[in-house]
Amino acid sequence: MFSSKEEFKKIFVTRMEHKGMGKTAELAYETLWEMTQEWIQDRWYRTSQLYKDNNEKQLYYFSIEFLIGRVLGQNLINLNFYDIVKEGLDELGLQLSEIEELETEPGLGNGGLGRLAACFVDSLASLGLPGNGYGLRYKGGLFTQHFVNGYQTEQPTQWIQEKHNVDVRREDLVVEVPYYGEVQLVMGMDGLKVKVEKPEWVKAVPYDMPVVGANGGTVNTLRLWQAEVSDRPFPGHKDYAVYEHETAKITDRLYPDDSLEAGKILRLKQQYFLCSASLQTILNEGSFSIEELPENVAIQINDTHPALAVPELMRLLIDDYALSWDQAWDITTRTISYTNHTILEEAMEKWDRRLIQTLLPRIYMVIEEIDRRFKESLQEQELDDEALHKLSIIENGVIKMAVLAVVGSYKVNGVAKLHTEILKKREMKELSEQFPNKFHNKTNGIAHRRWLLKANHELSGLITDTIGPQWIKEPERLSELHYFSQNHSFLQDFQAIKSLKKEQLIHHLQRNQNVIVDQDSIFDIHIKRFHGYKRQLMNILHIQMLYDRIKRDPTYRPYPRTFFFGGKAAPSYHFAKQVIKMINTVAAKVNNDPLARKHLHVVFVENYNVTQAEYMIPAADVSEQISTASKEASGTGNMKLMMNGALTIGTFDGANVEIFEQVGEENAFVFGMLAEQVMQHEKEKSYNPKSIIDSDPEIAQLMEELIKGEWTEGKTNVDFIVEQLLEDGDPYFVLKDIRSYSKAHEQILNAYAHPEKWAEMCVKNIAASGYFSSDRTIQQYSDDVWHLTKIPSLY
């Protein structure tokens, strides 16, 4: 332990000396890593003891993804050591930022849902709440993206560093997960019992990672399961080598899709593995009687991927704890709650009945019984076919996981107000009518400790100097910045920091991608997964329009803008990959045109991940949040960018609606159709993109150029995009919204022409962003759903 820079230096240098020769940065990384781990161990142990001694109710957050990002720097921040260490290293001629670069990011998630889980565990620990994450220890995280000839290619990513692992293997807590087997009724001491004969066992080995809360006060656990071959007798129904191979695959890699349900046996195996291993451990570890489970444990399932927790808990309670169906159901439905993250039809999980029946025969029986009883309970009501369809768990040979999750939970939530309304009034209307008290909203949030304190240490420093440090604990106090939004010297300081963060991003990109960006240009940033509804296509089409305008109109010479893109497409998502290729092609054309380049620069940042985000977000002037209204459940990038003083150009979608509410529409650039209008068009099939082309010459010209192949090397790439816009009826309303999008961009240029006024708007955004801290979200979950008790801080 140390309390001063000098003390840190002394310990650090002694340890370095012990290690002997070697590359300095790498040695320094190793040393720092060991030092932080040692500080954490003691706190980690004491936290778990405290929970045990006080018999605290525990929350378990089940998630198939935890996109935690790099760990070292965040731990230093949360332990309050970052400044001391940074300054100490500076004096020793070492740069903390360079040392941090040596850590491979654990990319155990695809995007929003996985990152949300990571922010949530941070907030739980920071609020001193007994809440732990349960997930999977994929050997390979999300793929690394490279561009080859403008196309995305994918390479496997290995994040596990044998030397200084971020997690601890817990051999003592191993459990076994059963697959396959035959369900049989056997006579036991107390009557007939169900038994699964000759299952194929897979060993589940937990790896624990400490989750360090703010000020190092509480250290909770993120437990990730790894699949290994079992020591139990092998039933011999298949070749052992096949079994070994199949077992290793369970946690071999993360499914790289964030918007398509996979329907594959391996994915089902992963989901069950997570649920069964986690539930067995929770029940084994608990020091309470099983009837009191709901008073001692809350389980939150992050989307439907862990929805098998419902039948699995039923199985364990009935088969292993000998409870009756009614007792087990009462306990299950008072323990589990569910968060929905999407209404996209193609992302709603539906499992083939036979697949579950074969892989998990006992689980299938339980699901069938849940469905039967639920349908029976509906019999008194006069429900039409449509309602019965929406309310059935098993139908036409498929199991609908969302319905199972709602029926088996005591609370169900959407992730932003609009999204929850759409769930209640449309997507899950019938379910919400059956269970009116279950549905509630919990607008997402972000860990401000990572996204402001760590990613933008300079801005955090300015904020602390201006309003004091309380905002770090109570982020809503960022609102005090409002008083400084017209303070000239504060605004100047803000502008200087924005400029510095742009410079840091420029250096980073120069080093990694060999591109040079104009620091004085407007940094317009569009970062997220690639998907039709997120409309990266609209952004790039608009850039093409701007290019045409510059070439056509000698009086149109707009202020220089750099349009940044960052994001990955699911390897199987052909359309999204074509958009990536198109952006790279347009970038090459625009960037190589001497006239256009003075005004426009397009930069596609390769391999967007948490680390890249930490560079990009603080440097942004403009935040692109342009999804088709009704499609984006919430979005969280929108919150991170706002908190770093970027102005949003956005639709009334997801949490944008609440961002505009908090900051005022006059401090953002709002455009486009409303969710209701989109849904109306979809219902009535009344939108025809050709009518837009006929009435807008600029859009017509653009489409003509696209068709002629002027924006591609060879037409094939763009053909697919043109086909979606014209023949497929432009399902994401790109052409419908592009005119108002373009107008909003004109407003941005006008506003940017007044730097002080612009800075004032930025500061108002930061001041209004405290609401979007995940501390607020987690406190609301705790108050309304989990009912946890805060433990007093240990330090």
Q: Which is nearer to ligand 8GP, 341 or 764 (CB)?
A: 341
| Contact call for residue 532 and ligand 8GP (CB under 6 A) | no
Q: Which is nearer to ligand 8GP, 16 or 222 (CB)?
A: 222
Which of 73, 112, 135, 566 is in the footprint of ligand 8GP by CB under 6 A?
A: 112
Closest CB 342 distance from ligand 8GP, rounded Å: 4
Which of 89, 116, 275, 778 is in the footprint of ligand 8GP by CB under 6 A?
A: 116
Which of 347, 383, 751, 794 is in the footprint of ligand 8GP by CB under 6 A?
A: 347
Do the beta carbons of residue 758 and residue 523 sit within 8 Å?
no
Kindly name the residue from 36, 157, 218, 636 that is annotated as catalytic: 636
Q: Which is nearer to ligand 8GP, 217 or 635 (CB)?
A: 635
419 is catalytic: no
| Contact call for residue 111 and ligand 8GP (CB under 6 A) | yes
Closest CB 144 distance from ligand 8GP, rounded Å: 19
Residues 6 or more apart whose Cβ sits within 8 Å of residue 433: none
Kindly name the residue from 529, 561, 739, 776 that is annotated as catalytic: 529
| Contact call for residue 131 and ligand 8GP (CB under 6 A) | no
Q: Which is nearer to ligand 8GP, 635 or 770 (CB)?
A: 635
Q: Which is nearer to ligand 8GP, 341 or 449 (CB)?
A: 341
| Contact call for residue 270 and ligand 8GP (CB under 6 A) | no
| Contact call for residue 110 and ligand 8GP (CB under 6 A) | yes
User: What SS3 state is found at 753?
Assistant: coil
Residues 6 or more apart whose Cβ sits within 8 Å of residue 194: 183, 184, 185, 186, 318, 319, 362, 365
Q: In whole angstroms, what is the distance from residue 505 CA to residue 92 CA?
A: 25
529 is catalytic: yes
Which of 230, 342, 625, 742 is in the footprint of ligand 8GP by CB under 6 A?
A: 342
CA distances from 205 to 213, 224, 268, 278, 283 (A): 25, 8, 18, 11, 16
Q: Which is nearer to ligand 8GP, 416 or 600 (CB)?
A: 416
153 is catalytic: no
Q: Which is nearer to ligand 8GP, 96 or 569 (CB)?
A: 569
Closest CB 733 distance from ligand 8GP, rounded Å: 17
CA angle 62, 68, 74 (to 5 degrees): 130
CA distances from 510 to 219, 492, 513, 514, 683 (A): 38, 27, 6, 4, 48
CA distances from 264 to 250, 269, 297, 458, 573 (A): 12, 9, 31, 46, 16
Which of 256, 567, 635, 672 is in the footprint of ligand 8GP by CB under 6 A?
A: 635
Compute the Cα dihedral for 493, 499, 500, 505 and give only its sign.
Answer: positive
Residues 6 or more apart whose Cβ sits within 8 Å of residue 169: 205, 206, 207
| Contact call for residue 567 and ligand 8GP (CB under 6 A) | no
Closest CB 774 distance from ligand 8GP, rounded Å: 11
What is the dihedral angle through the alpha carbons of 40, 42, 45, 47, rounded to the nearest 10 degrees? -70
Q: Tell which phi-psi region holds residue 535, choosing left (phi > 0), alpha (psi between -120 and 50) or beta.
A: left
Selected range binding ligand 8GP among 106-114, 245-253, 326-334, 604-612, rule: CB under 6 A:
106-114
Interaction pattern, residues 66-105, with ligand 8GP; x per rule: CB under 6 A: ----------------------------------------
511 is catalytic: no
| Contact call for residue 654 and ligand 8GP (CB under 6 A) | yes
Cβ-based burial of 20 (10 A; exposed 0-12, middle 13-18, buried ≥19): exposed
Compute the Cα dihedral for 508, 513, 516, 517 and give only its sign.
Answer: negative
Compute the Cα dihedral for 661, 677, 641, 117 and give only its sign.
Answer: positive
Strand partners, 298: 59
User: What SS3 state is found at 721?
Assistant: helix
Kindly name the residue from 419, 424, 535, 640 that is annotated as catalytic: 640
| Contact call for residue 443 and ligand 8GP (CB under 6 A) | no
How many CB atoms sit inside 10 A of residue 431's CB? 22
Do the beta carbons of residue 605 and residue 555 sit within 8 Å?
no
Selected range binding ligand 8GP among 70-78, 280-288, 633-641, 708-716, rule: CB under 6 A:
633-641
Selected range binding ligand 8GP among 326-334, 341-349, 545-553, 774-782, rule: CB under 6 A:
341-349
User: What SS3 state is found at 714?
Assistant: coil
Closest CB 408 distance from ligand 8GP, rounded Å: 19
Selected range binding ligand 8GP among 203-211, 263-271, 627-635, 711-719, rule: CB under 6 A:
627-635
Kindly name the residue from 57, 137, 438, 528 that is annotated as catalytic: 528
By C-alpha distance, which of 621, 708, 658 is closest to 443? 658
| Contact call for residue 667 and ligand 8GP (CB under 6 A) | no
581 is catalytic: no
Closest CB 473 distance from ligand 8GP, rounded Å: 24
Number of residues that bind ligand 8GP (CB under 6 A): 18
- Write phi, then psi, for 608 (nearest 5 degrees): -60, 130
Q: Which is nearer to ligand 8GP, 111 or 217 (CB)?
A: 111
By C-alpha distance, which of 611, 563, 616, 579 is closest to 142? 611
Closest CB 112 distance from ligand 8GP, rounded Å: 3
Q: Which is nearer to ligand 8GP, 609 or 634 (CB)?
A: 634
Q: In whole angstroms, what is the distance from residue 89 CA to residue 229 CA?
A: 45
Do the beta carbons of residue 411 and residue 299 sit within 8 Å?
no
Q: In whole angstroms, what is the distance from residue 737 CA to residue 730 CA?
A: 11
Residues 6 or more apart whose Cβ sits within 8 Å of residue 103: 29, 70, 71, 72, 161
CA distances from 777 to 409, 413, 692 (A): 19, 12, 41
Which of 632, 658, 760, 775 is in the footprint of ligand 8GP by CB under 6 A?
A: 632
| Contact call for residue 634 and ligand 8GP (CB under 6 A) | yes
Residue nearest to ligand 8GP (CB): 112
Closest CB 301 distance from ligand 8GP, rounded Å: 13
Selected range binding ligand 8GP among 52-60, 458-466, 631-639, 690-698, rule: CB under 6 A:
631-639
636 is catalytic: yes
| Contact call for residue 258 and ligand 8GP (CB under 6 A) | yes
Interaction pattern, residues 400-439, with ligand 8GP; x per rule: CB under 6 A: ---------------x------------------------
Positions in the binding site for ligand 8GP (CB under 6 A): 110-113, 116, 258, 303, 341-342, 347, 415, 444, 632-636, 654
- Cite the active site residues: 341, 528-529, 534, 636, 640
